[in-house]
Structure 1
């Protein structure tokens, strides 16, 4: 006897009988073509990324090189043109005019020499000298040195020839006496309408060496003849950027501009220099630099590939060239190419993924059509699956409800933690205020006891003074609490003429017990009546109490404990009240944060970090300021800047 089959078994067997779609096979012949196309697209993307990165890097490098040109041009202009007007002022000297009118007078020559020596001592040039109409040096600032210019015939110099013709002369040359280079500026000296001599200044160019190194890249300057006269690369000095013509060589030899040095063409790479260097201003030219050229150790190592940019200096006719290393640009371009390759590869993979997804979707649609035809045989199986799904949904809803309850519990716990954190901060604030009020309360207790004793003895005046101080201490306690509110909401102060010495005395009196218990020596150099400030006395005393209290804490455990207080008048009229200690000082890294609210260097529980912030706020309310600095001998100086009281006001007692 054969057992009857169950509905689920029939459904399963029906499902097994449903024909499944055959997997779609790739079309033959398309695979290699698509792979080649993908490789081509990725390669083109990498090439385009490289070119784009190279273009962006070149533009950024050109802008940076332009900034370097601006810096170099400004430095050259500052050195060359700083004293270019001096020769024109020498024409106004009576000593120089008298010498040129009577060149053979030794007394007039001595007077002119001393005048030029004094003038050169003020400006710091290499030399100042005066030539007569024949080009002979008649007076010089270096007349007392063994290598003086006096008596030299400099008529061959271009600066003399231009000046004697009535024009100002300028050019670079190497000195014939000392052999040191300089920039010569000349100006004609007139007696009425007649030119009777020439005044010349020789400006040193040695100060430009630091400028070359600060550019961070090789650079050079060529004069109007195309000869390198300034550079950070020693091998380039006195080399010509282009071959010199015979006329130019003859003129250089006649004028002895380079003191007889042979001028050879500059070689920086495999191609001629004239064909590589930029001729127009701001043009950038890529060139190869011979790797055997040794650069100064302050500059980066010679990479061999540079971008040369030039600029012509209008005042001197010189040309400034800056060589920017292309290695960072190439690295940036390579990085951009790598990113482009990765992006292109990602796009290709995404396209393959989408194509695969579409193929799978087609297979699913085909399977769906087959399943629709066998729907009758699968009804029982769908029913079972539906019941299972309903149970799963119920379990899921239960889990969702449990998770929502857990989230509500978590939020409640978080709110309680936040409230506990707030209460902790309020506790710290209460502890700090209690600490600040302990000293005034102790002083009031002592003064009240003393007042009772003086009243018992019949000394009413002393008792009255003590009770007056107790009242002021009560006000002081109020002033300690008030800044905590004024830190967030400022209240106007009541300025008056205040004797700083009196305020310092009150603060020291209130802190006398702490100073004695800490064994601190007090050096109070303030003199009554010398420093009258325009401020609020009670608030000034509060600031002083805070600063002196900080000083006491800073000197805790130090072998030398000295507190110095003195008031001086600044050059701008303000009063500077300085409180110095011999503590451990403030680290440089923390000085900028001293006046930030809630920032403190004290151990936990000893302060909220509001004292200095409140003190600066108080001082600034009546137009002053508060600053801190470390003492050279150790410790810290806190300086209170106060405005002086008007002349019509008198200090309060």
Structure 2
């Protein structure tokens, strides 16, 4: 801590000197620039003094000046337009403006009494004057250059005063609008220009009300001055003084430009072409930050040395402890190796058992799938067996007709009536196609094939399943309501498997409606909230109880009489649908009966499906 404190003091002193040198260099450049900007119009009154029109106006008696005033005004206007900016005017010995370059404006200085201005009193006595003041006509601040006008015909007597008013707004904008705050004060200690907006017309040191009132009347056109006092000594600021700005503005707010209660280095210079002084302020925060940084580094360096000494002592203790720990580690390592060897043997045995279980599970799964396929095929054959009588009746009539027509065709050919024989053979062909239409769906349904997903028309699958139950539906008087248009709903599944599911649902529905007076079977398709196709199969049968709904999809659960079913149809149907991304739901139908919803993936989903191989 002592090293850090000593370093802080040394760094603070060096930083202060460096900041003062930088501020002094900046102040010299700024002072030269401001002096050049302010005094560049100082020679204009000499040109006004040489004008014959101005001399003639000042020589004329007051009652004769009105005739000569226009020529003098035009001369001053042309001179002002050529030089660009300053206001030029001429005063008589009484301090009244008799000619001005701004005569064309309504608020011109013509006729204004400026006898109270200090620059007029000095110039009319024969001495060139320059002075900062605010005119009483426009209330604009400016820097006035005044030069006495002498008449050589009257033994060089002063007959008037030539004055140039130079604007200082550009000076305030260009040279005082710097990052570092700055201000310009006159010989009375009044702040004329300042980059903080709260400081103009403040005083460096407190002054009496009488003095402030006189300065306001003579120099500032009655405006209030000295409302604020900055408590800055110009003499001390000549070499650099540390000031702390903590004053408040008249409105009770802090001087926001410098963020009051902060420490600054104030440095001043005299402007040689004027009676002004310029003061710049440099924030000492950077010096404090730099000194604190150096102190922290010094403290850290000394701390590192102390830590290094502690490290050397600790290193010896650590080396001793390391040797002891190494011996313990070797002992523990040997024990660990023995434990790892024993655990490795146990793990190898567990892996072998797990592999055997995986193989057994795979075989069981293959057996289960094969059994499921056999059950599906058995269900198909059972349905075909139930429909054998109806199918025989459907085929016997076309066969009898074919036998009669073919015999007649032979007889007509013997008689030479080929036209009639041709007609009979045409009828035989039609009946053969009719029989093929009956047999083809039966062959497709009965075929045992692997599940291959494809685009399936739901309406076509429903029609194929209904065809298999055509005789039973007509025999039992079941009214079928199929609200599905062809090619309107396309699902991604295996058509043969979907047909098997529909055959199970339709067969169950027919059995459920056997004792009902009204038998109605309806089909409809809609889009589910999940995006799947929802095929609804509803009947007007006895429906389900709440207990039956809870166990409906369990294997070997059935609501039929003993010997009429195994209770596997719905469980297998749901497994079939889930294999290609669908599902089977059950519930009561509106108006009574049962309602099954077959969820099918649409063609756009096209799920990946890997069918299990099955025997032909």
Instruction: Calculate the TM-score normalised by the size of structure 2.
Output: 0.47
Pick the structure with greater CA Rg. Answer: 2
> Larger RCO: Structure 1 or Structure 2 (Cα < 8 Å, ≥ 6 residues apart)?
1
